[in-house]
Structure 1
């Protein structure tokens, strides 16, 4: 059996975009513990998915393993963005109770990652972790320092989204301009002028217009587009700004 490193863990912020609610969401799991004496809830909140690193693993391998156990996915965008090592990060009353029950080290340092994936690819039914999507701007009560971790991940995502094409990791392979604009607006937190946005994006050679339209919609179907990673990599260097 693999042996864990007791005070090193990985926490995973999983972002997905919901096209129906036009919301950037985070995948969370329930943390619940009740008293053995009277069944009163001692801990009842939500947390990110994370786990201790195994001795034979790299940190990256831990993050990939944790994500796969949660979502069944492993080939998605992954970014390590910060280490959280405040000595008091697990010392809230509920966290102390939880740590004692789970018998883990309260001086645990966590390496935080965020992942970008297509919401529709995650099957929440029959998932032993019972994860739920929550809007990043309307989160439930969170345990540990996970609100801080999510806020830091979201800030990094906002910054990267304006000069890297990572937003396409949240979209289906074929998308409409409205879906693309909705996704940008949900991440950046502000509305964009529809006409200017369309004009800007039509100049981007890595966005390919397809000879296809939406199917199964009640309104007039919109044209579909795709993002070409090959074209992007040929045209742009790492330092080139997308400037949405």
Structure 2
């Protein structure tokens, strides 16, 4: 028997991706587009987070994972449920009302927001059916619903979380340089970090493992490569900041 949708409960997913080339933290958004019946007028033309209603027979986590996989083809990514958004007026913008009527959605929908972490290169957006596109977190396009607020709060949570747990490594390649870690922190936190102190503190962490490898394909002197060991981290974990900056 086919499971029914819960008409007033949805999940929305803030998909953060880090681009190691541009040193940019990005958000993956999908196109929302609607024309009038005679095709003469564009009624809605903006971007939104990926999300959908929850089925009666699935947990919230499973709903978020389903939505993410449908968009990216990926699973088993770092995720965090960070807030519920249920303001009575969250879907009452004129464009949102037009969209909701066209899709027969419930006007009083409460959404549970998650964010996911991945590398931008892991998602192929060229031929994505949802016309998904990466946008820098500091330069977002026009957004529908209350998704600007959802992204803002997800980003604030991420900045706090990345100082308390080693989730930064979810955004980086398996093998990385110290400078690449520093660049990622600077991109997320929006601050400059003292290079010498950062390097010293990072390489002294037992879960940052030096490799007998160096960068390849770079014009400058190749840098030492490292890896993050989650096994070592879990064994020595204490409730303090990963790095003081």
Confirm or deny a common fold (TM above 0.5).
yes
SS at match of 2:89: coil
SS of residue matched to 1:182 = helix
Q: Say if 2:202 and 2:243, in contact at 8 Å, map to a contact too.
A: no
In structure 1, distance between residues paired with 2:40 and 2:215: 52
Which stretches of structure 1, 4 residues or longer, exceed 6 Å deviation after superposition? none
For the pair 1:143 / 2:144, whether they are aligned, the reply is yes
Give me the whole-angstrom Cα distance separating, in 1, the residues matched to 2:130 and 2:7: 22
User: Following TM superposition, by how much is the alpha carbon of 1:120 offset from its aligned partner in structure 2, in angstroms?
Assistant: 1.4
Cα contact 2:36–2:43 (8 A) shared by 1: yes
* Structure 1 match to 2:219: 218
Shift of 1:126: 2.5
Partner-residue secondary structure (3-state), 1:141: coil
Q: Output the CA distance in 2 between the equivalents of 1:117 and 1:96.
A: 32
In the alignment of these two chains, the number of paired residues is 243
SS of corresponding position for 1:70? helix
Matches for 1:122-201 after TM superposition, within 5 Å:
122-201=123-202
Q: 2: distance between equivalents of 1:16 and 1:176?
A: 18
Please report how far the alpha carbon of residue 241 of structure 1 lies from its aligned counterpart in structure 2 after TM superposition.
2.0
Aligned residue in 1 for 2:11: 10
Task: Note the C-alpha offset of 1:219.
Answer: 2.2
Q: Does 1:19 align with 2:20?
A: yes
Q: Once superposed, what is the RMSD of the aligned Cα atoms? A: 1.0
Name the SS for the 1:80 alignment partner: strand
SS of match in other structure, 1:162: helix
- 3-state secondary structure, aligned to 2:57: coil
Question: Offset of 1:196 from its aligned partner?
Answer: 1.2
Residue 98 of structure 2 aligns to a residue whose secondary structure is helix
Q: Provide the C-alpha distance between the structure 1 equivalents of 2:114 and 2:120, rounded to a whole number of angstroms.
A: 18
After TM superposition, the score normalised by the length of structure 2 is 0.97
Look up the match of 1:241. Answer: 241
* In the alignment, structure 1 residue 85 sits paired with structure 2 residue 95: no
Measured in 2, the distance between the counterparts of 1:59 and 1:39 equals 39
Superimposed CA distance per residue, residues 118-176 of structure 1 (whole angstroms, 9 cap, x where no aligned partner): 22111113321121000000000000000000000000000011110011000010011
Gaps in structure 1 of 5+ consecutive residues: none
> Residues 32-43 of structure 1: matches in 2 within 5 Å?
32-43=33-44
Tell whether 2:61 aligns with 1:60.
yes
CA distance in 2, matches of 1:122, 1:211: 29
Counterpart secondary structure, 2:116: strand
Q: Report SS of the residue matched to 2:242.
A: coil
What CA deviation, in whole Å up to 9, does each residue of 1:35-55 have, x standing for no partner?
123521111100000000011
Q: Is residue 2:106 matched to residue 1:105?
A: yes
CA distance in 2, matches of 1:180, 1:240: 19
Whether 1:69 aligns to 2:80 is: no
Once the two structures are superposed, residues 188-219 of structure 1 have per-residue CA deviations (whole angstroms, 9 ceiling, x without a partner) of: 11011111111111111111110101112222
Gaps of 5+ in 2: none
Q: Counterparts of 1:100 and 1:79 in 2: how far apart (Å)? A: 31
